[in-house]
Amino acid sequence: MSHVYATSMRALSPGHGALVVERQGDRSHLACIESRAPLKLLAPKNHGHARWVYVGTFGGGLVDGDEVHLEVEVGASAGLFLGTQASTKVYRGTSRVTTDARVGEGGLLVSVPDPVVCFAGASFTQRTRVELAQTGSVFVVDTLHGGRIAHGERWEFAAYETRTEVFRDRRPVLLDAIALRDDEGSIGRRMRRFEAMASLYFVGPAVREAGQSALARVRAEVGDATEPAAPSPAVVASASTFDDGASVLVRLLGETPHALAAAIRPYFDFLPELLGDSPLARRP
């Protein structure tokens, strides 16, 4: 019995969820989907071979004391797209989101949530840990907007900390962390003219070609952040390889959330072919 199955068979704690996707014939199917408030999981139908699941919270955001923990298992040759219904609003106070995922041989996990938006005084911690089988793959996107900018809250949150870990056969492939804390000085001053940021992680054989294309795009079209192609570009980017060059990390900074969204969209062009349908086709 898998760990996620075992989790789903006992009473879940508030804010916890369990999700299992298995391959049956030419499509992926949900073998388990359970959640407890404030976490909610929605699984709409689609025309592709991968399953889609959207993560949300009752109340439209995370409030002080909220702790969300999602356990995910993607079976051999199965595919899962994880998204969100809308941006994750983090209200004043302390909250935490943890995702623990396992991807079997030939399996694929695509996690493309909407941006995180931290309100003034918010303290948010996010940890994502993915265990890959030898031929498992994962594509993860993390996007952060600089707060409720239209309300005068530009980088006014107390803390934002995120950590992404990917292991293959229990050996570390990627360990990446970002920490923005106002007790270390003004976050807005350190972010300078930028109001949004994103990190894209391409790991595993199913996304290797897409990762290499992303690397080429950064180098040829966007330009490296240390040597911008224009005096003050609206978006700057950097890219690096790891896992002996087979995997890619792309980081982007945008002057505005709109500029970042426009720049990041081409990096998702490979998803319809990979998933058999496009979960982002109807997004603005």
Q: Does residue 244 register a pLDDT over 80? A: yes
**Residue among 79, 91, 139 nearest 118 (CA):** 91
11 in any annotated domain: yes
Q: Check residue 29 and give its pLDDT.
A: 97
234 in any annotated domain: yes
132 in any annotated domain: yes
Calculate the average pLDDT of the chain.
91
End-to-end CA distance of the chain: 41
117 with 87: CB under 8 angstroms? yes
284 in any annotated domain: no
Q: Does residue 230 register a pLDDT over 80? A: no
Q: What is the total count of domains within the chain?
A: 1
Q: Does residue 232 register a pLDDT over 80? A: no
- Comparing 126-130, 210-214, 277-281, the range with the smallest average pLDDT is 277-281
Give me the domain span that covers residue 170.
Answer: 3-275
CA 177/CA 174 separation, integer angstroms: 10
Q: Check residue 85 and give its pLDDT.
A: 87
59 in any annotated domain: yes
170 in any annotated domain: yes
Q: Check residue 36 and give its pLDDT.
A: 94
Q: Does residue 248 register a pLDDT over 80? A: yes
Task: For residues 117-123, give the mean pLDDT.
Answer: 97
Q: Does residue 211 register a pLDDT over 70? A: yes
Q: How confident is the model at residue 231 (pLDDT cuts 50, 70, 90)?
A: low
Q: Check residue 12 and give its pLDDT.
A: 80
Name the residue with higher pLDDT: 128 or 225.
128
282 in any annotated domain: no
CA 199/CA 250 separation, integer angstroms: 6
Which phi and psi angles does 209 have, rounded to 5°? -65, -40
Task: For residues 161-172, give the mean pLDDT.
Answer: 96
Q: How confident is the model at residue 13 (pLDDT cuts 50, 70, 90)?
A: confident
Q: Where is 9: in which H helix or E strand? A: helix 3-9
21 with 51: CB under 8 angstroms? yes
pTM for the model: 0.92
Task: For residues 95-110, give the mean pLDDT.
Answer: 98
Q: How confident is the model at residue 3 (pLDDT cuts 50, 70, 90)?
A: low
Distance of CA 105 to the CA centre of its chain: 21
- pLDDT tens-digit readout, 14-67: 899 999 999 999 999 999 999 998 999 999 999 999 999 999 988 779 999 999
Name the residue with higher pLDDT: 9 or 118.
118
283 in any annotated domain: no
